[in-house]
Structure 1
């Protein structure tokens, strides 16, 4: 029976904390106060970190950026760019159309996503990229 069960890579709490630490280091290096949210492949929150003095509204925004990235299997920046180009129909989707949400991919499979909010969307994207880069170091990619 066990051989019929699928196995998959997953975003564990320990891994989420490690990725958040890399994102936090990038934010602190730039003196940016942000919220860092990590969700699993179903969009469920695994870990959330709010740096001191970050506005509380960023808790929801960071989480929704991560959920957008995993739900649509692409960075949330795609939707920001589409909106900026006048493709406002994307606004009817259950998304947040701001940069800062990025899928986490291991061996071609999405294990979750990171979302960052607190500064400009471009700066949020820089912080999110630090988490993605850390994942690449961990998995050797």
Structure 2
């Protein structure tokens, strides 16, 4: 049997704090979600000024990234390049800004961010992950 890492509460707090710091440094009003490998919500933080819809979108980005084991940017590019049938897939977070957390080659969760431009959302997510 193989063993696998998993996110602990301290890891989640560290990632969330780093993502908030990145957003705050850039004066970006975003919402940040962190999920486990199954897409289950572990943390959510909506910064002042972020639209309420961000809380829904960032969770879906994180969930899609965790379950798909890839950045959601790939899904957005796929759709933009003409594979619009993918829009009928059951997940909803097909915009850039969902980034998987990979430890020892295994996806152990994901960070999803919503509120600014998609590449900026991804920047905040990656800053959170880098804190691990």
Identify the TM-score tier after normalising by the shorter chain: over 0.9
Deviates more, 1:62-71 or 1:8-17: 8-17
Deviation of 1:127 (Å): 0.6
**1:138 equivalent in structure 2:** none
Are the equivalent residues in 2 in contact too, given 1:13–1:47 (CA < 8 A)?
A: no
Task: Pick the structure with greater CA Rg.
Answer: 1
Are the equivalent residues in 2 in contact too, given 1:34–1:118 (CA < 8 A)?
A: yes
Spell out structure 1 runs of 4+ moving beyond 6 A.
Answer: none
Q: Normalising to structure 2: TM-score of the pair?
A: 0.94
**2:97 equivalent in structure 1:** 100
**1:88 equivalent in structure 2:** 84
Deviation of 1:61 (Å): 0.4
Q: Normalising to structure 1: TM-score of the pair?
A: 0.88
SS in 1 for 2:131: helix
- Structure 1 gap ranges (5+): 136-141
SS in 1 for 2:20: helix
Relative contact order: is structure 1 or structure 2 higher (C-alpha 8 Å, sep ≥ 6)? 2
SS in 2 for 1:32: coil
Q: 1:38 aligns with which of 31, 34, 41?
A: 34
Q: Deviations over 1:24-71 (max 9, x none)?
A: 111111100111100001110011111112111100100000000011
Q: 1:20 aligns with which of 12, 16, 22?
A: 16
Q: Distance in 2 between matches of 1:134 and 1:89?
A: 36
**1:131 equivalent in structure 2:** 128
- Structure 2 gap ranges (5+): none
Q: 2:108 aligns with which of 97, 108, 111?
A: 111
Q: Distance in 2 between matches of 1:23 and 1:100?
A: 12
Q: Distance in 2 between matches of 1:65 and 1:40?
A: 13
